[in-house]
């Protein structure tokens, strides 16, 4: 159980499903996270966000919060095999996290721009993104994405 790992000296009176604990704990944090990003954007700051949108509720909230912001939606892609290899090579990752998040990370199939980290090194990826920004092309994909049916637990 998540709580027993976080609060070592607390004995719960009843079991609470880990998913419920995560929802109660993380949903407000995600809302705050998205709101802070929007605030920075409203202040005229350029913000780069690297995140995993864990579920449909977070995806929908992301759409709501950023729909009126200039949002360049970049897909950073590589194969599942490569993600697993990198995870093992780094040595500081929970083994299996990359594989468990793969379908969540790659469930969106439309971006303003894609960078493939198996084909391009980090500098080349950054240059490709910067080139797109400087081209003054419209950031349109994010505005076209539709909300998902979020199941409520």
Structure confidence by residue, pLDDT tens digits, 84-93: 999 999 988 7
Q: How far apart are CA 66 and CA 143, in angstroms?
A: 9
Q: Is the pLDDT of residue 16 over 50?
A: yes
Torsion, Cα 6 19 87 61, to 10 degrees, reads -110
Q: Is the pLDDT of residue 94 over 60?
A: yes
Q: Quote the pTM value.
A: 0.75
Which of 5, 12, 103, 11 lies closest to 52 in space, CA to CA?
Answer: 103
Which whole number is the average pLDDT over 68-73?
89
Structure tokens at 124: 């080349």
> 83: exposed, middle or buried (C-beta count within 10 Å: 0-12, 13-18, 19+)?
buried
For 117-142, the pLDDT digits (tens) are 999 999 999 999 999 999 989 888 88
What is the bridge-based pairing of β-strands 113-116 and 74-77? parallel
For 3-13, the pLDDT digits (tens) are 556 666 777 77
Which pLDDT belongs to residue 107? 80
Q: How far apart are CA 47 and CA 58, in angstroms?
A: 19
């Amino acid at each position: 159980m998540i709580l027993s790992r976080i609060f070592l000296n607390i004995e719960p009176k009843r079991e609470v499903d880990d998913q419920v604990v995560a929802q109660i704990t993380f949903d407000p944090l995600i809302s705050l996270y998205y709101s802070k990003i929007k605030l920075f954007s409203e202040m005229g700051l350029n913000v780069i966000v690297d995140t995993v949108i864990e579920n449909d509720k977070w995806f929908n909230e992301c759409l709501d919060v950023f729909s009126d912001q200039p949002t360049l939606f970049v897909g950073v892609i590589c194969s599942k095999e490569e993600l697993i290899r990198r995870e093992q090579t780094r040595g500081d990752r929970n083994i299996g996290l990359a594989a468990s998040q793969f379908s969540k990370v790659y469930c969106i199939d439309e971006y303003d721009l894609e960078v493939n980290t198996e084909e391009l090194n980090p500098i080349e990826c950054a240059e490709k993104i910067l080139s797109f920004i400087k081209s003054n092309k419209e950031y349109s994909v994010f505005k076209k994405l539709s909300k998902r049916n979020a199941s409520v637990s």
